[in-house]
Chains A and B, each alone.
Chain A
Amino acid sequence: MSVQKHLQTLEEESIYIIREVAAQFQKPVLLFSGGKDSITMAHLAKKAFYPAKIPFPFLHIDTGHNFPETIEFRDKLMDELGVELIVRYVQDSIDQNKVKEETGKYASRNSLQTVTLLDAIEELGYDACLGGARRDEEKSRAKERIFSVRDDFGQWDAKMQRPELFQILNGKINFGENVRAFPISNWTEEDVWNYIEREELELPSIYFAHERKMVKRDGSYLAHSSYLNLVESDEIVDKIVRFRTVGDMTCTAAVPSTADTIESVIRENKASKSSERGARIDDKRSESALELRKKGGYF
């Protein structure tokens, strides 16, 4: 089985899952962050229903600390796909005193997103959220089902997950519950990149090597921006970098790289022994950072 055949198998499976979500739920939504996994998901959704339109809207939880390149890209893609994009702002949650802006060196809006997301789910009445999380990303993600049932506080109870057998997806839920559905669970980072190459998908420019003003901190490179609280030991440098994963500007580290094409990115990732999640400062807060955030309703 060639790489192409493997990608094909993954695509068939993901399309099956996306179609199940559209059919089993009253009001699904696709969570769109603007990163490569979201872009892959958007493409799969387009393929799943063509020649019909994608039958659900997209939701972006905007931390306000985005890379400007990804927002530009997002709006262009939505136009092309002709889907409705709903945006909810973390800034609003802060203004409403629902969450407090973090302070200090590591201040980030990444975990504040959860409150904005849960409010959006409640306000708009979504019963299923499609997400682009993959099991290879992180050790608690590796434990996630394809259909993950959350209570009305969005909580993930890892010890009580429903059995999920074969490809039979049970989307039945009680009032107030909702499901997080992960169609690309079984894809690896390498698969996503190979698929992007195969399908000739466009990506925001930050995924490719470019010169940028960076802040060197604790051995990592963070994008320089007004959102980052600088401290004395931070060093500001111009550097040729690319991002392997794209989250909040304050907590996504870049890798020094000259890879400026899909091909060279694939080659470089393959040679590297690091995982993409290694670049997420928010996960490094503690060993269980992501699991704890998920328990609280995070994606």
Chain B
Amino acid sequence: MDLLRISTAGSVDDGKSTLIGRLLYDNNALTKEQEELIEKKTAEKGLQDLDFSVITDGLIAEREQGITIDVAHIYFSTQDRKFIIADSPGHVEYTRNMVTGASNAEASIILIDARKGLLEQSYRHYFISQLLRLHTVVFCVNKMDLVNYDEDVFLKIAAEVKQMTAQFEHSTPEIQIIPISSLKGDNVVFPSGETSWYQGPTLNEVLHEISSKKEDEKPFRFEVQNVLHVQNEEFVDFRGYAGKVASGSIKKGDEVVVLPSGNKSTVKEIRKYDRTFDEANAGESIVLSLNDDIDASRGTVFSLPDEAPSSDKTLDATLVWLNEQKGVFGGRYQLQASSRTVQAKLQQIHYVVPPEKPSLKVDASELKLNDISRVSFKLAQPLFVDAYANNKANGAFIVIDTQTNNTVAVGFVE
């Protein structure tokens, strides 16, 4: 049974939360308590169709306003697959929460209201999926019941979608477009009796077919989270580096270079709890020991000598600004990539890109909430990152405001 992480996206009220509720309901994956809640709320509101959004809209404010504010993480499994779904808000004010949900996803479902077609948020959310380099994006043209399941409406929106996705240099490898009604259940889990003109798969089929893609060979990256010193009968002068293999793999005996010092040593031991291993791969949390006593502490990066990450003190990146407090040219921030933190100055704002027209480059002197921009930072120390396009696991960082300590932007290394 494999695991797929997906997130929802699209404009406010397009039906994302309703869709997730429907998906679980038709997969018979709701608990008794959830089913009772749906029935109770539906009756209270005097609705004809079941109100599925109550499953994911778990906050008082969300229920009051009838919108999603923050991401809900929903866990469910079918015979063949486990899913973690991040149901994200469509509201423009809460785009930061949509990015939060999408950043850990392998696939995104973008909803479009059949009556409205593509809206600003549809463009923005696709842009973000594109920046994240998600392997699969499924566009669901929702509320088909409100346009009499009209094929022409669907085809027109499908054409708009194709036009949008074609604007990007690196298009998403896998794109699907499906006509659905979340409320009535058409083409979500069960094929619709109303869309005989559509021969494609249901959303559920698509979600089961997406291959949770194995990443290609990546360079070895390991970062020290904690240094473990132990002195007892069993472990004499033990010094190990606890951390996660971000990408690639490492074998016992391999030579590694340790950054920033540039010192080299060989791997003496790869440990997980009370067992040792000959090899460790991406994603594993290990304790690594070296044959030489060299200087390494939290934030130190290990790589193979011939494929070390960039040690530039200038960092070019695409940023998505996530805070009301504007980003300013010349501003000082902290950048954090995994466990590493460096001081940085926003040295240049090259341009801002409007989501509807990614080829446009608009001059800007400040960064506003939700702005997508190309920038350069000057770094106090190198961050040892890779280009996001080459190595996702070591190519993203967050921008932290030094006064509020808030996470104000996410960056993708160019």
CB within 8 A of A20: which of B73, B84, B225? B225
B69 interfacial by beta-carbon distance below 8 Å? yes
CB within 8 A of B56: which of A47, A142, A162, A188? A142
A186 with B84: CB separation less than 8 A: yes
With most chain B CB atoms within 10 A of its CB, the pick from A1, A20, A143 is A143
Binds B, one of A49-57, A122-130, A254-262: A49-57
A residues within 8 A CB of B109? none
The distance in angstroms between the C-alpha atoms of A294 and B31, with both chains bound, is: 23
The distance in angstroms between the C-alpha atoms of A69 and B14, with both chains bound, is: 50
A273 with B31: CB separation less than 8 A: yes
A161 interfacial by beta-carbon distance below 8 Å? yes
Tell me the smallest distance from the CB of A173 to a CB of chain B, in Å: 6
The distance in angstroms between the C-alpha atoms of A292 and B63, with both chains bound, is: 14
The distance in angstroms between the C-alpha atoms of A161 and B101, with both chains bound, is: 13
Q: Which residue of B lies closest to A140 (CB)?
A: B58
B99 interfacial by beta-carbon distance below 8 Å? yes
A170 with B226: CB separation less than 8 A: no
Bitwise interface map of A from 269 to 286 toward B, beta carbon under 8 Å scored 1, else 0: 000011101100000000
B residues within 8 A CB of A185? 73
B residues within 8 A CB of A46? 273
Q: Which residue of B lies closest to A135 (CB)?
A: B73
Known: A9-B3, A12-B244, A288-B60. A165 touches B407 (CB 8 A): yes
A residues within 8 A CB of B84? 186
A166 with B33: CB separation less than 8 A: no
Binds A, one of B111-119, B152-160, B175-183, B397-405: B397-405
B24 interfacial by beta-carbon distance below 8 Å? no
Find residues 304-336 in chain B having any chain A CB closer than 8 Å to their own CB: 322, 334, 336
Bitwise interface map of B from 253 to 277 toward A, beta carbon under 8 Å scored 1, else 0: 0000000000000000000111000
A166 with B274: CB separation less than 8 A: no
The distance in angstroms between the C-alpha atoms of A168 and B411, with both chains bound, is: 12
B82 with A6: CB separation less than 8 A: yes
Number of interface residues of A (CB under 8 A): 57
The distance in angstroms between the C-alpha atoms of A89 and B268, with both chains bound, is: 47
Find residues 89-123 in chain B having any chain A CB closer than 8 Å to their own CB: 96-97, 99-100, 103-104
A residues within 8 A CB of B35? 273
With most chain B CB atoms within 10 A of its CB, the pick from A167, A168, A174, A273 is A168
B55 interfacial by beta-carbon distance below 8 Å? yes
Tell me the smallest distance from the CB of A268 to a CB of chain B, in Å: 15
A residues within 8 A CB of B31? 273-275, 278
B228 with A51: CB separation less than 8 A: yes
Find residues 29-48 in chain A having any chain B CB closer than 8 Å to their own CB: 46-48
Tell me the smallest distance from the CB of A41 to a CB of chain B, in Å: 15
Known: A6-B3, A136-B75. A50 touches B103 (CB 8 A): no
A9 with B283: CB separation less than 8 A: yes
CB within 8 A of B407: which of A11, A52, A143, A163? A163
Binds A, one of B196-204, B234-242, B348-356, B360-368: B234-242
Find residues 149-177 in chain A having any chain B CB closer than 8 Å to their own CB: 158-159, 161-168, 170, 172-174
Could you pull out 21 A-B pairs where Cβ atoms are within 8 angstroms?
A1-B2, A6-B3, A16-B225, A19-B225, A19-B242, A46-B273, A47-B273, A142-B73, A143-B70, A158-B61, A161-B97, A163-B407, A163-B410, A165-B99, A168-B396, A172-B334, A185-B73, A274-B32, A278-B31, A291-B58, A291-B59
Closest 6 CB pairs of A and B: A139-B58, A1-B2, A172-B405, A15-B285, A52-B228, A275-B31
Q: A139-B57, A141-B58, A168-B396 are in contact. List 13 more A-B contacts (CB 8 A).
A: A2-B1, A16-B244, A47-B273, A48-B285, A143-B59, A163-B100, A165-B100, A165-B103, A165-B396, A168-B337, A170-B398, A172-B334, A186-B73
